[in-house]
């Protein structure tokens, strides 16, 4: 049976609205609360991870397709590359000046 592709994409609208809510929640927490810097950073980081997962499922169509295993491998590889870049950048910026 063929899917109806002419309907309005409500799931994308819901994903967009949820992304906006998460963004405004992070901004509100950062600007309007008196929490410590570290707590605010952990909350913003957690909301960012939730928003990234939301966008993967709502906009990137991770659950669609016949070969779900390849999509999971690609996502794991992308997360691995991002972690290497972020951790490597922090390491170089923190400890790279000790040789001078």
Q: In this predicted model, what pLDDT tens digit does every residue of 51-87 receive, in sequence order?
A: 988 888 787 777 676 676 777 788 889 889 999 999 9
pTM: 0.65
Identify the pLDDT of residue 76: 86
According to DSSP H, which parts of 1-100 are helical?
A: 10-32, 37-58, 68-95
Identify the pLDDT of residue 32: 92
User: Does residue 95 carry a pLDDT above 90?
Assistant: no
How far is it, in rounded angstroms, from Cα 64 to Cα 61?
A: 5
Q: In this predicted model, what pLDDT tens digit does every residue of 29-45 receive, in sequence order?
A: 999 999 999 999 999 99
**In the chain, where the domains are located:** 1-64, 65-100
């Amino acid at each position: 049976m063929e899917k109806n592709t002419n309907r309005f994409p409500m799931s994308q609208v819901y994903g967009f609205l949820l992304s906006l809510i998460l963004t405004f929640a992070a901004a509100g927490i950062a600007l309007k609360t008196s929490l410590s810097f570290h707590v605010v950073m952990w909350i913003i980081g957690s909301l960012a991870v939730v928003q990234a997962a939301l966008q993967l499922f709502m906009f990137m169509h991770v659950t669609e397709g016949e070969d779900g295993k390849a999509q999971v491998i690609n996502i794991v590889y992308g997360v691995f590359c991002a972690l290497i870049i972020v951790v490597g950048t922090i390491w170089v910026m923190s400890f790279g000046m000790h040789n001078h």
